[in-house]
Amino acid sequence: MVSFSPLSDGPRVLPVIALTGCDGSGKSTLASALVSHLGEKASTEQLYLGQSSGKIGDWIRDLPLIGPPVGRYLGRKSDRVHERPSEPPGAVTALAIYLLSRWRAHKYRRMLAMCRRGALVITDRYPQAEIPGFLFDGPELAKTQGGSWWVRWLRERELKLYRWMATGVPMLVIRLNVDEATAHARKPDHKLASLRKKIAAIPHLTFNGARILDLDGRDDAAHVLDASLRAVHGALEATPA
């Protein structure tokens, strides 16, 4: 298996296969299949590296009494940041966004711990600092400008956090590409505008110069898995042990 080097200030290649692509591209299905096949010969772990705002929002809304109104309040605040990014968020909204980024960093540290144990980690999504916005797994506050000293401080802290996570370069990024019609058909609960933005932005992400395999997420799942396995084995052979 690939060795894991300690944290440093510069980029370092990690024993990580990162799956990226728009919602509905097949990342979760491919991740499970890769873990099943690769796990037969070596220690392989799976980890979701999105910021999980949807699941957290569901948890808040399910709280007795205060859950529904608090959930609606946070939802309105979140929508405002997405729809009017040039306006600085309020102190509470900025803090909520920053805490979501801290939660993602917590999961990123879990990934590093898996790597240290000698596991090959398959991630669904991967943090980056090239394009701002949770929609693209980047820093959300970086989309906004101005604000109070508190908001500016949180923005700087969040950006620093994402830049640190981006120094961990996956040994392979598998990018699953789909058109917006396919994505929306598979994920009808997602806003078409958001899916369209993801599809337009994802091809521009480089993940600090990582090796990237582009696949068509509309292809047969067996074909996508076979091509992915060949690329993973190639990346493992090319990475010093």
How far is the C-alpha of 43 from the C-alpha of 143, rounded, in Å? 38
How far is the C-alpha of 77 from the C-alpha of 101, rounded, in Å? 16
How far is the C-alpha of 23 from the C-alpha of 44, rounded, in Å? 24
Residue 178 region by backbone torsions, left for phi larger than 0, else alpha for psi between -120 and 50, else beta: beta
Tell me the residue range of the domain where 68 lies. 12-238
The pLDDT of residue 8: 46
Transcribe 53-102 into DSSP letters.
HHHHHHHHHTSTTTHHHHHHHHHHHHHHHHH-TTSPPPHHHHHHHHHHHH
pLDDT, tens only, 90-145: 898 899 899 889 999 999 999 999 999 999 999 999 999 999 999 999 999 999 99
pTM to 2 decimal places: 0.85
In a domain, 110, yes or no: yes
Residue 187 burial (10 A CB sphere; 0-12, 13-18, 19+): middle
In a domain, 1, yes or no: no
In a domain, 3, yes or no: no
Total domain count, the chain: 1
Average pLDDT over residues 167-191: 95
**Are 148 and 95 contacting, i.e. CB atoms less than 8 angstroms apart?**
no
For residue 188, pLDDT over 60 is answered with yes
**CATH label of the domain that carries residue 37:** 3.40.50.300
In a domain, 6, yes or no: no
In a domain, 142, yes or no: yes
In a domain, 2, yes or no: no
Weakest-pLDDT range from 30-39, 57-66, 155-164: 57-66
- At 24, give phi and psi (nearest 5°): 90, 5
